[in-house]
Amino acid sequence: MIKTKARSYAAQSATSALAPLAIDRREPTATDVEMEILYCGVCHSDLHTARSEWPGTMYPCVPGHEIVGRVTRVGNRVTKFKPGDLSAVGCMVDSCRTCAHCQAGLEQYCLAFPVFTYNGNDKFLGGHTFGGYSTSVVVDEAFVLRVPAGLELAATAPLLCAGITTYSPLRHWKVGPNQKVGIVGLGGLGHMAVKFARAFGAHVVLFTTSPGKVADGLRLGAHEVVISKDADAMKKHAASFDFILDAVSAQHDINTYLGLVKLDGTLTLVGAPERPLPVAAFNLILPRRNFAGSAIGGIAETQEMLDFCGKHRIGADIELIPIQKINEAWDRLLKQDVKYRFVIDMASLKGN
């Protein structure tokens, strides 16, 4: 396999800072799309993986799975893209494509496990895949997405993970008008969930521990903002929600929120706390509540989400940074000091 070089920022170990590294990219095969990366969102998963807080990290680790770029070359069998097109890549770059889940358009639940954009098995070059903290990427066209006209490109990047991670469960559980929907946590995921739930026509209630986020929650589209530390305010909403989306990745009392779900309602977890969350059995048994989880979305649904965002002019609230400030951004991410997603301007890497 012929290789080309790309610039990137990588972690060499769980304790090392991100630093410049030249990496290999494959020459496009017949079905491949080569993209110049313009913007890459910064997801908390990047930090978890690079610092080996989740098992199985392979080094060097080049994170990044919220990628927006411009097509530079395509293989001779590519039909959906041409050079110059705006394009995007999310959390996956391949799957088995043959299992029941893949055939149903649910590649994120591939029974053979999807190939993730970074820290996945690279069947072309061997070793593992490198992500979007880099100048270019080569991906099979089946896993490349179209960016609708009119979207602000930097604000589009976080849609490829934070966006689809919240859009998919809201769609799956058919959130819409005449429903009361709760969103737990106002961060990278939560702020997108508020925007989508409002756009779907639901009555949206945001739960946050931070009084300072009330105004932002209302600005983003919540009809009500509840401070979750206020027991009386929480009690007023007992057993009243059709659906709650929990976007908190830190340890928290899930039972408090289960108690807000009405008969046959659902609480879906999209945050990923490090340790298991204890669940009281009777919080599910009475009154017949559902506790579920959800992960990103398939390729078709991700394209649907992007098209929905194009139609409704929905993007993430971002802070644009050069790649040289990525370590500082990660430190701030740990302190929740961002509203609400860092996005890297990859032009800053071209001369690095």
Length of the chain: 352
Tell me which of 3.40.190.10, 3.40.50.720, 3.90.1300.10, 3.40.50.1820 is the CATH number of domain 162-293: 3.40.50.720
User: Percent helix, strand and coil across the chain, each rounded to 5?
Assistant: 30, 30, 45
User: What is the model's pTM?
Assistant: 0.95
Please tell me the predicted confidence (pLDDT) of residue 352.
57
How crowded is residue 58: how many other Cβ atoms within 10 Å of its Cβ? 15
Closest CA to 116 of 127, 131, 105: 131
DSSP string, 322-333: EGGGHHHHHHHH
SS3 letters across 30-64 = CCEEEEEEEEEECCHHHHHHHCCCCCCCCCCECCC
Each residue's pLDDT expressed in tens, for the chain with a length of 352 residues: 788 899 999 999 999 999 999 999 999 999 999 999 999 999 999 999 999 988 899 999 999 999 999 999 999 999 999 999 999 999 999 999 999 999 999 999 999 999 999 999 999 999 999 999 999 999 999 999 999 998 999 999 999 999 999 999 999 999 999 999 999 999 999 999 999 999 999 999 999 999 999 999 999 999 999 999 999 999 999 999 999 999 998 889 999 999 999 999 999 999 988 788 999 999 999 899 999 999 999 999 999 999 999 999 999 999 999 999 999 999 999 998 999 999 999 999 986 5
The pLDDT of residue 351 is 65
Q: What is the pLDDT of residue 273?
A: 83
Domain definitions of the chain by residue range: 3-161+317-349, 162-293
Q: Enter the CATH code of domain 3-161+317-349.
A: 3.90.180.10
SS3 of residue 297 by DSSP: coil
Angle, nearest 10°, between helix axes 188-199 and 162-172? 40
With both helix axes pointing from N to C terminus, report the angle between 299-312 and 162-172 in degrees, rounded to the nearest 10.
100
The whole-angstrom separation of Cα 202 and Cα 197 is 6
Q: How far is CA 323 from CA 49, 86, 152, in A?
A: 18, 21, 19
Q: Which H or E element spans position 320?
A: strand 318-322
Structure tokens at 250: 């830190």
